[in-house]
Chain A
Amino acid sequence: MQFLKWGAAAALALSLAQISAPAQAAGGKTLETVKARGVLNCTGHDGSYLGFAEVDDKGNWKGMDIDLCRAVATAVFGDPAKLKIVPISWAQRWPSLQSGDVDIVIKASGGTLSRDTELGLQFSMSYYLGTTKVMAHKELNLKSLKDAEGGTICIPAGTTIEQQVAAYSQKIGIKLEPVVIEKTEELEQAYFSGRCDLYAQWGPVLAIARVAKGKVEDHVILPDVIAVEPEVMILRQGDDNWVDVANWTLSALLFAEQEGITSKNVDEIKAKPTSPAVAKFLGAAPGMGKGLGLPDDWAYNVIKKVGNYAEIFDRDLGKDSPYKMDRDLTNLWNNGGVLFPLVVD
């Protein structure tokens, strides 16, 4: 009996400790905590995630996710260097955020129902629309997946892609022969050696595999979109101000692109704003920062020091990167994409 009592007490204490700690960390004070610490803790990767978080020859982080971390750090401190990238594995993302190890997760992670409701997380707007796509050998002369009736398709094991491909091929009424392989290197080997006609994968990984093989023109990425996953910045539940900071940082990058403001011309435009909204945006007129708890010129700093959304994309994934990816759906609304900034009023 005595033993049971103690066991129950210990279990209670442990569960209390587990509940109370994240509650403290999520007390709505993230911005203040970050400011007091003098550095933003943001996610990296435990190795490399091509195009999103990778390491250059000198050991510096680069990539789309890293640049977004830089943008948030710049919004808060006016200095992209006030950033600590914490290398983190996939499994560690949520515990690290909850324990306060990192202030924000920007790690090619989709916004899903269970993450939102069960894990106690909160999302920013989508910064990248991840699509599941299919690549095919050029000599097969496929226009779309519909032409691939009876073909073999390489699919990564243990992912949702398997179900997505099954559902999509059923929808368009064709039969495909799946080859399911666990390890990405092996999977790509199977496709490139010709064992599969097709290769289904998360879009960026496909594009990157094609470049890495060194023969971009021998493979076509079919226009079919098998499935869509909006990638979002992920934050702790219950800190609205911090969510605002993340959303408005992203929005600033998109707004600057929409208005044609780049890191090169931002000074000219700040001196001669094209509209009252732009003047406010760049801090030439007051009001941009106060409600967020940031300085009025935070957006100017972000654009000046990190660049607008297009500059970031081109540098990390697009035409100035080795991956040469198209913007596709991850484009502004007026260029055929689905991204849009919030209104600066």
Chain B
Amino acid sequence: MEMVVVAPPASGKLEDLKRRFFATPRQAVISLLSLSVIVFLVWKLLNWAVFSAVFDASGGPDACHAASGACWSVIAARWRIIFFGLYPYEEQWRSALACVTVVAMTVLSCIPAFWTGRRIALVWGVGAAVFYVLMKGGLLGLGFVGEEMWGGLALTLFIFVTTCLVGFPLAICLALLRRSELPWISRTTGLIIDGVRSLPLISILFTFAIVLPFALPQWLQGDKLYRVILGSALFFSAYQAEIVRGGMQGVPRGQEEAAMALGLSYWHRISRILLPQAMRNALPATINQFVISFKETSLVIIVGFFEILASGNAAYGTGEWRFAYVEVYAFIAMIYFVFVFSLSRYGAFLERRMSVGER
């Protein structure tokens, strides 16, 4: 009997590459063609974005007209508008600091050491207070800046964070109410959730910003910004409530029954048994919902807020920089990317940590 010796697959990166892309002549041709197309596109992009681009603002728009590449000098000249909107120029450091506070707050609450109710509450309570005082002023010698002057990244972050802060607890309440055993509670809640979900966010924002003042007395109206945040939080919570409810349905009924048999109170059953497991089930969808909400903050442009996209419009919306809208949009896309990508990476980290799907 002769042994058939099969050569082990060649190791080493080069061999691997050869086996995958250049196995036959036809494969080699296709690989080379694709590669050259990719190289060509990347080179084009790099050439536009880097090599032929103008970075220095000192030449003004004229330098850009002369160059063939991107005109990043529009960012150099107008970045303050993109980040801070209409916030008073001399006070913009406050807006910057407020953004840093939000980021710091988010990073802190991502560290497992802070995952106790009291610490999280402390971080967010203090963070929100610092943000608010910095932005609005009127305290500690800071000049007063009304909400209608807020803008840019700071406003986008503020709307997002407050939407989640208000919307998340509300979502949990709605989810719990919907599984109530009293039909008139569960049905009413269901009606509210489905009602909100069947309206487009943009119409909700418009209603809260513009129609509500007609219907509410003066003292109940509050600032337009907070009405809009309330509307967007309501929308967020309707969706998030269904996500949480889905998570709850994934928790076996026996868990709750066992807890009942042990004589745990309702709040203990919910907060120690049901919710932790439900949230673990709901995590991927929840992160998704957060990401969507972050991007949906750009809809407040319709009711006249200077969030980051509107600020971008204003940044290129002047005679000299009008032509450079592509660069401004690219820059804003980068900002969105940085935030949303970190958010989804954080979600992945959480999933690993809680080992979702491994149960």
Task: Report A's interface with B, CB cutoff 8 A.
Answer: 14, 17-18, 21-22, 44, 46-51, 54-61, 84, 86-89, 91-92, 95-96, 98-101, 185, 208-209, 211-214, 321-323
Residues of B within 8 A of A58 (CB): 80, 89
Do B317 and A84 have beta carbons less than 8 Å apart?
Answer: no
Q: B57 — nearest CB in chain A belongs to which residue?
A: A57
Residues of A within 8 A of B320 (CB): 212, 322
Do B81 and A84 have beta carbons less than 8 Å apart?
Answer: no
For A211, give its contact among B89, B317, B319 (CB under 8 Å). B319
CA distance A92 to B213 in the complex (A): 13
User: Is B87 part of the binding interface, using a Cβ–Cβ cutoff of 8 Å?
Assistant: yes
Task: Report B's interface with A, CB cutoff 8 A.
Answer: 61-62, 65, 77-78, 80-81, 84-89, 92, 146, 148, 151, 206, 209-211, 213-215, 224, 301-306, 310, 312-320, 322-323, 325
Q: A48-B313, A57-B81 are in contact. Are A89 and B319 (CB under 8 A)?
A: no
Which of A47, A59, A98, A101 neighbours the largest number of chain B CB atoms within 10 Å of its CB? A59
Residues of A within 8 A of B319 (CB): 50-51, 208, 211-212, 321-323
CB distance from B75 to the nearest CB of A (A): 12
CA distance A59 to B152 in the complex (A): 11
Do B214 and A17 have beta carbons less than 8 Å apart?
Answer: yes
CB distance from A316 to the nearest CB of B (A): 10
Do B87 and A59 have beta carbons less than 8 Å apart?
Answer: yes
Residues of B within 8 A of A209 (CB): 322
Residues of B within 8 A of A322 (CB): 318-320
CB distance from B116 to the nearest CB of A (A): 41
CB distance from A7 to the nearest CB of B (A): 14
Residues of B within 8 A of A99 (CB): 210, 213-214
Q: A46-B304, A212-B322, A322-B319 are in contact. Are A22 and B89 (CB under 8 A)?
A: no
CA distance A309 to B85 in the complex (A): 29
CA distance A321 to B306 in the complex (A): 25
Do B214 and A87 have beta carbons less than 8 Å apart?
Answer: no
Do A50 and B322 have beta carbons less than 8 Å apart?
Answer: yes
Do A55 and B215 have beta carbons less than 8 Å apart?
Answer: no
CA distance A95 to B302 in the complex (A): 13
Q: A209 — nearest CB in chain B belongs to which residue?
A: B322
CA distance A101 to B148 in the complex (A): 12
Q: B300 — nearest CB in chain A belongs to which residue?
A: A46
Residues of A within 8 A of B87 (CB): 59
Do B77 and A57 have beta carbons less than 8 Å apart?
Answer: yes
Do A49 and B325 have beta carbons less than 8 Å apart?
Answer: no
Residues of B within 8 A of A57 (CB): 77-78, 80-81
Q: A57-B81, A59-B89, A101-B224 are in contact. Are A87 and B322 (CB under 8 A)?
A: no
For B310, give its contact among A17, A47, A51, A92 (CB under 8 Å). A47
Residues of B within 8 A of A214 (CB): 61-62, 65, 323
Which of B77, B211, B213 neighbours the largest number of chain A CB atoms within 10 Å of its CB? B213
Do A208 and B317 have beta carbons less than 8 Å apart?
Answer: no
For A92, give its contact among B92, B210, B214 (CB under 8 Å). B210
CB distance from B172 to the nearest CB of A (A): 29
Residues of B within 8 A of A56 (CB): 318
Do A101 and B213 have beta carbons less than 8 Å apart?
Answer: yes
CA distance A95 to B209 in the complex (A): 10
CB distance from A148 to the nearest CB of B (A): 26
Q: B306 — nearest CB in chain A belongs to which residue?
A: A87
CA distance A208 to B319 in the complex (A): 7
Do A208 and B81 have beta carbons less than 8 Å apart?
Answer: no
- Beyond A18-B214, A50-B318, 16 additional contacts (C-beta under 8 Å) are A17-B215, A46-B310, A49-B317, A55-B315, A58-B89, A59-B85, A59-B87, A59-B88, A59-B89, A86-B148, A86-B304, A87-B310, A88-B304, A96-B210, A101-B224, A212-B319
Residues of A within 8 A of B305 (CB): 46, 87
Residues of B within 8 A of A212 (CB): 319-320, 322-323
CB distance from A197 to the nearest CB of B (A): 21
CB distance from B76 to the nearest CB of A (A): 11
Q: A185 — nearest CB in chain B belongs to which residue?
A: B325
Q: A84-B148, A89-B302, A95-B211 are in contact. Are A48 and B314 (CB under 8 A)?
A: yes
Which of B62, B215, B312 neighbours the largest number of chain A CB atoms within 10 Å of its CB? B215
Residues of A within 8 A of B151 (CB): 59
Residues of B within 8 A of A208 (CB): 319, 322
CA distance A255 to B325 in the complex (A): 40
CB distance from A128 to the nearest CB of B (A): 17
Residues of B within 8 A of A60 (CB): 89
Q: A22-B214, A58-B89, A95-B211 are in contact. Are A89 and B301 (CB under 8 A)?
A: yes
Q: B87 — nearest CB in chain A belongs to which residue?
A: A59
CB distance from A177 to the nearest CB of B (A): 26
For B304, give its contact among A59, A61, A87 (CB under 8 Å). A87
Do B322 and A92 have beta carbons less than 8 Å apart?
Answer: no
Top 10 A-B pairs, shortest CB-CB distance: A48-B317, A47-B313, A212-B322, A322-B319, A58-B89, A21-B214, A88-B304, A95-B210, A55-B314, A99-B213
CA distance A13 to B312 in the complex (A): 42
